[in-house]
Structures are given as structure tokens and as C-alpha cells.
Chain A
Amino acid sequence: MTALTEPEVQAWVGRTKEDPPGDIVCERGYILHWLEATENANPLYWDDAVAQDLTGGPTAPPSMLSAWMRPLQFVPGRNEKRMPLSLHFALKEALGLPEGIVAYNEMTLGVPVRPGDSVRTMQRIREISEPKTRRLGTGRSWIIDVTYTNQNGEVCGVETYEMFAYVREPKP
């Protein structure tokens, strides 16, 4: 756990960070992988005629939004490791909480993401809890809002995550 004082911890509330667009643009192969993983037979994503009729062409499933902002794990010449939701990971590090889970998620969806679109995020810490102990360990929870925009500045969606980051309790 961190040696930060409570006011220093709470000073993170309201901080924002904008991450650059993800390393990949929306593309059909990844959409098919998503559909494969969720055994999703929705013809909107498999039948181009249905997609043309309903959405004016192919789109990605709305719940797939966060896939498009995640950095590649390897890029030639890139020395620093990029993390998705970098503000969340910066807070985890500042608080000395190595483990983390997502406890709650909320999505409000806007314009569809289409093949060729790139997505960037703006993140904001909304609140940070007092220290708490749960079954997994001792740490804090926080709420972070994430706004996703496409290359045209249109909002594709807003997500809210409640994270719990913690240090595991030593086994007796």
C-alpha cells in the first residue's frame, strides 16, 4: 500500500487523461473473432446485405467498443509499454496496489464503430474509496469514466468502470 496521505490520494479525483487512438483500427477480422468468442450469429455482422439494409454497411458490435482502444503488445521501435486505461494503471501504481479487478461496468452507446474507424479515449477519475478489505485482499475501489470518440470527434460511447485494486492478504 502507498505512503500517500488521504488528501494526496483524493487529489487524484477529477484528474483526466487522454490516450491516443488504439494501435489498430476497427476491422472485419477482429469483429469475426469477437463473434466467434461469443458465438454470436447476429446476421447484422455476418450478412452484408442485412448490414447494408439496417446500418448502411458493416459495423462492429457496440459492446466491442473497448477493443479498439487497446494498444498492441509489441510495436517495432516502441520502448515504453503502453497500457489501456492508462489513468487507471497510473493510479494503481501510485497507490501501490498491484492486483485489480473490475467490479462494475456501465456503457452508454453512441454512433456505431465501423471498419476503418480509429477510437481514442478520454478518462476521468470520478471517486476513490477509503481503504477496504474484501475477500481478495485490502485496497481501494475507484470509479473511472471513459469517453470514446472516433476520428471525426463523434462519441461512440461512454463507459464507467468501478475498479477494485488490492494487495492480497498473506495466506495463514
Chain B
Amino acid sequence: MKVSAGDRLPALKVDVTARTVIMGASSSRDWQPQHHDHAWALNRAGTRDIFLNTPNQGGWIERYLTDWTGPAGRLGKMRFRMRRSICVGDALVFDGVVRSVSTDAAGCTWADVDVTLSVGEDSATECVARIAVPASDADNPWARRGDDWTPDAPGPLELNSQRS
């Protein structure tokens, strides 16, 4: 897979419904009430409505990345900071841009990708992910084990807002 710094990933739009939020909570087995109980979210949690839970946001981000890499892409590391709850009724947009590409000592090619989850003008979640991509037709990141699979090898992975 040929990847270069600056490559842009296609945008992904998701209209967040109650089903989106509740199915996300159910599939991650997260029964905290703010992810399925509207009255609790408003009156106890103090949020606008029920909102996407953390594992489900991680799942959407992984899906967004592997839509781009194809099935051979293997997620190694990701960080995300949730600045604003993503609630029912939000029009969520994923955008991504490749920050850098590197090859570690084991020959694994890594793409560091900045991903933003936006609602309107607001950046709701800021993410950076490191995903292994095949360096050639013969390379398979999923075959890597032990010392051949080191997502921390390319160095620190910081959110844009953490970088000096």
C-alpha cells in the first residue's frame, strides 16, 4: 500500500440516532445509563442526551481507518480525547490526514494518522492512530508477533494538541 504524509482519507458522515448510541453501548457491553437512558443523561449526567461511549468511538475510528487501508491494515495504537459528547441528533463527520509514515527495525510500515470527529464547527473528538500497512504485496502486518510487532517502535504518538 503506497502511503505518504499529507494523504487525506475520504470523509465519513454518520447521522447519530438513538439506535447508533444504544447499539454502540450494547455491542461493547457497556450498560452505564448515560448511553441508553435519556432521562438519566439529562438529569443525572447533565448532558444534552445519551451519547456515544468510549469503546464505540474507538470502534468507529478503527472502522474509518480500515475502510482506507483495507483488511490488511492492522491497528497498533490510538489515542483520543473526547472534548464534547456526541449525542443523538448530531451529524458526525470523520476526517483524517496522514501525519507521517515510517518503517521500524523489524520492517513494519506504520502510518500515523490524525483523525478528527466533528459535529458542525466543533471538534468533538481528537484522535491520532498508528496503523500498520503492508509494505509490499508479500507483507502482512497481521503475521507479525513478538519483537516483530512493536507499535511503540516509531516513537511517541501524541495528539496534535499535545505537540509543542
Chain A residues engaging chain B, CB cutoff 8 angstroms: 24, 30, 33-34, 36-44, 50, 54-55, 61-64, 66-67, 70, 73, 84, 99, 101-112, 136-137, 161, 168
Q: Are A54 and B30 in contact (CB under 8 A)?
A: no
How far apart sit A109 and B62, CA to CA, in the bound complex (Å)?
12
Q: Which residues of B contact A137 (CB under 8 A)?
A: 46
Residue among B66, B71, B78, B82 with max Cβ neighbours from chain A (10 Å)? B71
How far apart sit A74 and B155, CA to CA, in the bound complex (Å)?
43
Q: Which residues of B contact A168 (CB under 8 A)?
A: 44, 46
How far apart sit A102 and B66, CA to CA, in the bound complex (Å)?
25
How far apart sit A101 and B44, CA to CA, in the bound complex (Å)?
12
Q: Are A104 and B26 in contact (CB under 8 A)?
A: no
On whether A99 and B59 interact (CB within 8 A), knowing A37-B26, A43-B71, A63-B75, the answer reads: no
Does B110 sit at the interface, judged by CB under 8 A? no
Q: Which residues of B contact A106 (CB under 8 A)?
A: 77-80
A-B contacts, 22 listed (Cβ < 8 Å): A24-B29, A34-B27, A36-B23, A37-B20, A38-B27, A39-B14, A40-B66, A41-B67, A62-B75, A63-B55, A63-B59, A64-B28, A67-B55, A84-B30, A102-B82, A105-B54, A105-B57, A106-B80, A107-B58, A108-B151, A111-B145, A168-B44
Q: Are B66 and A42 in contact (CB under 8 A)?
A: yes
On whether A109 and B75 interact (CB within 8 A), knowing A34-B27, A64-B59, the answer reads: yes
Does B72 sit at the interface, judged by CB under 8 A? yes
On whether A40 and B71 interact (CB within 8 A), knowing A33-B26, A33-B27, A102-B54, the answer reads: no
